C-alpha cells in the first residue's frame, strides 16, 4: 500500500507522462466520468503533462449537476410546507431550480437542514415524530447504499414520518448514451473508482465489447489518473477494447456484495432524466414497490417536469463533454461560484468550479 503522498510524486508522474508520449502514435480522445477525477486533472495540471495527441474530455461525473431541475423544484416545494423538514447534502442547497434554490427557500422560513448522511435524517425523524422529514436522495451508485440503509432501518424501527425524494442515477447507461450519440468522439473511458468500489467492474464489460472502447477503472490521485490514461492509450494503440482495473486497491471485480444487496432490496431500475443530458433509459433508481410508503412523491405529489430558464450558460454542453468551461462566454465574469448561472459552477464537483478554483479566469479562452 502506498502512502497518499506517493500518489502525488512529481517524478513518477513525469515518468508516466513520458511513457504515454513514447507510446502514442495518433490522436485519442478519452473521457473521465467522475467529478473528483476532473478536479484532480485540473488541480494538478495532469492534462498539461500529456502529449498533444491525448485529449481529456470531462463527462457528466457530477451527481449534483445532473439532478433534474424538476426534483430541485419539488424539494423547494416540500421545504415550504408547514410541519415538514427537508434534509439535504449541503451541495444541493445552491443548485438552481426554475424558481430559485433551497437556500432561498430556507431564507423564506422553510425548514431546510444540511445533513452528512441519510442516517442523520433518520435521527431527526426519531426526535421529531410529529413532523414529516424528507431526505433529498441524490447521487450515483456511491450514495445509493447508505440511502438504502436509511430506508431499511426506518422499516425495521417502524418510523413512519421519514420519506425519500429519490433522484439516483447510474453511470453505465450514461456512458452508453454518450457513445450512442451521432457526434460521439469518445474513444476510451476512465471509469469512476468509487462507483466501481460499490458495483464492481462486470457491468462495464458489455459496454466495452459493444462499443469497442477500452474502459479503465481509475482512482483519483494524479498517478492513478496518469496510469489510467496510460493503460487506456496502450489498449487503443494495440487495438484492444477491454475493461481494466487500475484502482485494485479499492475495487473488487464483484464490488461490495452487501451494499449491492441493500440497493436491490430497496430500489428498482427506472428511466431517469439527466440535467443537461436528457432522458436515459434504465439510468436511474426509484424506490421499489415494497418501499413505496417511503416515497416522498407518493406523500407530497408527483414531480412535475421543469424547464431551464434561458441564459448564456452552456453547462449542458459541458456535462455532455462537448465543451470545456473556459469556452463559456460567461465563465469567470457573469458566472462565478458566488453568482453561478449553472450547476457546473455551483457544485463542488462541477467542472466549471474546478477550472475557476484552480486555473482562474482565462479571458482569451472565456471569450471576454
Question: 15: how many CB neighbours lie within 10 A of its CB?
Answer: 13
Write down the residue that cell numbers 471509469 correspond to: 191
Angle CA(205)–CA(212)–CA(187) in degrees, nearest 5? Answer: 110
Architecture of the structural domain at 1-309: 3-Layer(aba) Sandwich (3.40)
Separation CA 155–CA 149 (nearest Å): 10
Structure confidence at residue 294 (pLDDT): 98
Angle CA(301)–CA(303)–CA(306) in degrees, nearest 5? Answer: 145
Q: Which residues of 144-183 are buried (b: 16+ CB within 10 A; e: fewer)?
A: bbbbbbbbeebbeeebebbbbbbbbbbbbbbbbbbbeeee
> Edge-to-edge strands of the sheet including 215-218?
54-58, 28-32, 188-192, 215-218, 243-245
Say how many CA atoms lie within 13 Å of 85 toward its Cβ.
20
Structure confidence at residue 362 (pLDDT): 47
Grid cell of 74 as nine digits: 419539488
| Domain ranges for the chain | 1-309, 315-366
Spans of the chain, pLDDT less than 50? 1-3, 362-368
3 state SS of 109:
coil
Residue 319 parent element (H or E): helix 315-319
**Taking the CA atoms of the chain, what radius of gyration do you get in angstroms?**
21
Structure confidence at residue 162 (pLDDT): 98
Structure confidence at residue 6 (pLDDT): 72
Grid cell of 236 as nine digits: 487503443
CB-CB contact of 132 with 299 (8 Å): yes
Residues with Cβ within 8 Å of 3's Cβ and at least 6 positions away in sequence, in order, are none
Residues in the chain: 368
Overall pTM > 0.85: yes
Amino acid at each position: 500500500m502506498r502512502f497518499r503522498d506517493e500518489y502525488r510524486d512529481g517524478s513518477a508522474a513525469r515518468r508516466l507522462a513520458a511513457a504515454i508520449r513514447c507510446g502514442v502514435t495518433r490522436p485519442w480522445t478519452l473521457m473521465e466520468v467522475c467529478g473528483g477525477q476532473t478536479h484532480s486533472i485540473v488541480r494538478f495540471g495532469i492534462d498539461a503533462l500529456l502529449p498533444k495527441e491525448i485529449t481529456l474530455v470531462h463527462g457528466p461525473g457530477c451527481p449534483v449537476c445532473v439532478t433534474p431541475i424538476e426534483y430541485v423544484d419539488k424539494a423547494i416545494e416540500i421545504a415550504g410546507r408547514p410541519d415538514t423538514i427537508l434534509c439535504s447534502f449541503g451541495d444541493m442547497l445552491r443548485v438552481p431550480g426554475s424558481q430559485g434554490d433551497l437556500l432561498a427557500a430556507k431564507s423564506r422560513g422553510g425548514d431546510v437542514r444540511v445533513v452528512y448522511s441519510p442516517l442523520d435524517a433518520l435521527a431527526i425523524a426519531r426526535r421529531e415524530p410529529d413532523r414529516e422529514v424528507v431526505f433529498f436522495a441524490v447521487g450515483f451508485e456511491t450514495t445509493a447504499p447508505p440511502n438504502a440503509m436509511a430506508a431499511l432501518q426506518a422499516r425495521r424501527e417502524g418510523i413512519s414520518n421519514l420519506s425519500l425524494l429519490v433522484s439516483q442515477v447510474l453511470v453505465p447507461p450514461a456512458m452508453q448514451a454518450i457513445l450512442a450519440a451521432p457526434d460521439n468522439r469518445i474513444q476510451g473511458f476512465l471509469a469512476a473508482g468509487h462507483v466501481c468500489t460499490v458495483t464492481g467492474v462486470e457491468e462495464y464489460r458489455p459496454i466495452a465489447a459493444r462499443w469497442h472502447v477500452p474502459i479503465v477503472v481509475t482512482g483519483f490521485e494524479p498517478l492513478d489518473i496518469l496510469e489510467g490514461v496510460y493503460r487506456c492509450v496502450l489498449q487503443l494503440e494495440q487495438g484492444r477494447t477491454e475493461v481494466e482495473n487500475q484502482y485494485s486497491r479499492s475495487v473488487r471485480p464483484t464490488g461490495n456484495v452487501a451494499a449491492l444487496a441493500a440497493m436491490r432490496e430497496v430500489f428498482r431500475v427506472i428511466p431517469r432524466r439527466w440535467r443537461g443530458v436528457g432522458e436515459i433509459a434504465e439510468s436511474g433508481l426509484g424506490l421499489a414497490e415494497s418501499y413505496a410508503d417511503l416515497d416522498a412523491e407518493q406523500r407530497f405529489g408527483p414531480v412535475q417536469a421543469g424547464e431551464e430558464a434561458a441564459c448564456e450558460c452552456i453547462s449542458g454542453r459541458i456535462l455532455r463533454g462537448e465543451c470545456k468551461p473556459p469556452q463559456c462566454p460567461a465563465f469567470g465574469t457573469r458566472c462565478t461560484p458566488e453568482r453561478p448561472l449553472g450547476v457546473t459552477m455551483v457544485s463542488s464537483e462541477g467542472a466549471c468550479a474546478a477550472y475557476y478554483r484552480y486555473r482562474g479566469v482565462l479571458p482569451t479562452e472565456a471569450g471576454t
